Amino acid sequence: MTKSYAEVPEIFPPENIGPSGQVASYLAQMAIQHGPLFRWLMRRDPNNPVELLFMVGPEANRFVLHTHREHFSHDRGWTPIVGEWMGHGLLNMDPPEWTLHRRMMNPAFTSAYLAAYLPLMHRVIEERTRDWGERGEVDLYSEAREITFDIAATALAGFKTGAEVDHLRGLFYTLIKGPNLQEESWEHFLERRVQIIAELDGMLLPLIAQRREQLRREGTTGQIRDVLGMIVEARDEQGQAFSEEQVLAHVKILLVAGHETTTTLSTWTLYLLAMHPEYRDRVMAEIDAVDGGGAEPLSFEAIRSLRVLENVVKEAGRLYSPVLSVPRGVLKDFEFAGYHVPAGVQVRLSLAACHRLPHVFRNPDVFDPERFEPPREEDKRTPYALVTFGGGPRVCIGMGFAQEEIKALVAHVLRRYRLEVVDPSEVIHSDWLVAYLPGGCRVRVIPIDSRTWQVPA
């Protein structure tokens, strides 16, 4: 017999669970103890406690992301989190609007486009990492943020790197990070936020107007453009273009979704390679085999062929998922795992906790990229087990873009530098929804000989 929602197990987290990097393992433990559904009363704001229904495991992933996705709203899940100021982009839209917009935007993320973005990625990576050797020590996390934002702003919106993009990154960062309540009241931040949003829109709207004007002058050229060009050019079946408000929201969401997550994952990938020299050497041997002498940046095909590196990136994403949980508002009642769940409930589908289930991934807390190699292939053995980029029709539209960017960055860095983590205990994966590294990730940078790939004696 189906049990009522009130009978869904309720969990009471210990005091010390919080920004400690242990959230995913803790939620996985809860799923082992209580099953794939449990309720959690979040008392972060004592005046406004929020009850969340956590769902964990491959079956829950398949149910929410694929088979029963029409029961769940992205809008009611994501919009309260990203904020109304962002407007509605792909991430927080529901069908039928989403279906049309996704169809119009998919072409900007096909292989032909990804190959066209690569020279720009190489240029940004080269410029931003050139002085690492002289500096001797860098914080990988803040460096990665600069690199990924430059790439997102240029490839997605057509900005030129430099002071303007640095300023734009600062505006987004302030909005996403929120106030430091020790230095500023919430009310003051809200006032400041209005000004920042106006400034942000003031930078993006002229860019959109320019593109419309360019399109009017030149017509559809069929040439590869940046993503903004594609969005401005896109037409639905009735020949209707996106409105200005819609284009603005898409650009904002792409800029945010396209850089915070990639920042985290590239930091963790470089960290893990620094901590596991045996894998770093395997990746370097693989790069050596395709790099044609080492002077030129790797081609798109060469980057795609790096399987050992690909598995390291997959393993970094499994252990340290940039998106820990995806939020959904329940639109229609459903039954799952023997329980009835009514409309109106707020769900958190915990991708990161699924990655830590021992019956899905052997020794889940251990860094072991070989788990993805045949014959183990733990990600393929269970459908919807590895969901770093989500899954089903709403799988991350930027997945190929992010993988290409991270592989290009890692290959570039490994060919020039040896990295040593200054203090691994500072490097923490934190938060509940979208991860960040509160302590950064400081590394010592030692230039290596470009021919032998060894540290000079």
Q: By the 8 A CB rule, do 354 and 385 touch? A: yes
Of 37 and 230, CB closest to ligand HEM? 230
CB of 230: closest distance to ligand HEM in angstroms? 12
CA distance 136 to 132: 6
Pattern 20-59, binding to ligand HEM, x per CB under 6 A?
A: ----------------------------------------
- 258 contacts ligand HEM (rule: CB under 6 A): yes
Does the footprint of ligand HEM cover residue 251 (CB under 6 A)? no
Measured from each CB, the residue nearest to ligand HEM is: 398
Secondary structure (DSSP) of 391-424: -GGGS-TTHHHHHHHHHHHHHHHHHHEEEEES-G
Binding mask 120-159 for ligand HEM (x = CB under 6 A): ------------------------------------x---
- Give 30 or 396: the residue with its C-beta nearer to ligand HEM: 396
Closest CB to ligand HEM among residues 150, 418: 150
Cβ proximity to ligand HEM, 319 vs 418, nearer residue:
319
Cβ distance to ligand HEM smaller for residue 161 or 262: 262
**Amino acid letter for position 20:** S
Residue 234 to residues 94, 107, 343: CA-CA distances in angstroms? 19, 10, 35
Work out how close the CB of 447 gets to ligand HEM at its nearest, in angstroms, rounded to a whole number: 27
Q: Out of 172, 279, 334, 389, name the contact with ligand HEM by CB under 6 A.
A: 389
Reduce the DSSP state of residue 431 to 3 states and report it.
coil
Binding mask 65-84 for ligand HEM (x = CB under 6 A): ---------x----------
Three-state DSSP class for 298? Answer: coil
Name the maximum alpha-carbon separation found in the chain.
72
The 3-state DSSP class for residue 61 equals helix
Question: What is the rounded distance in angstroms from the CA atom of residue 4 to the CA atom of residue 11?
Answer: 17
Residues 155 and 401: their CA atoms lie apart, in Å, by 10
Distance of CA 25 to the CA centre of its chain: 20
Among 125, 253, 319, 354, binds ligand HEM (CB under 6 A): 253
How do strand 334-336 and strand 339-341 relate by DSSP bridges?
antiparallel
By CB under 6 A, residue 326 contacts ligand HEM? yes
Residue list 90-109, contact with ligand HEM (CB under 6 A): 90-91, 102
Of 280, 272, 282, 214, nearest to 427 by C-alpha is 272
Q: Which residues bind ligand HEM (CB under 6 A)?
A: 74, 90-91, 102, 156, 253-254, 257-258, 261-262, 265, 322-323, 326, 388-390, 394, 396-398, 401-402
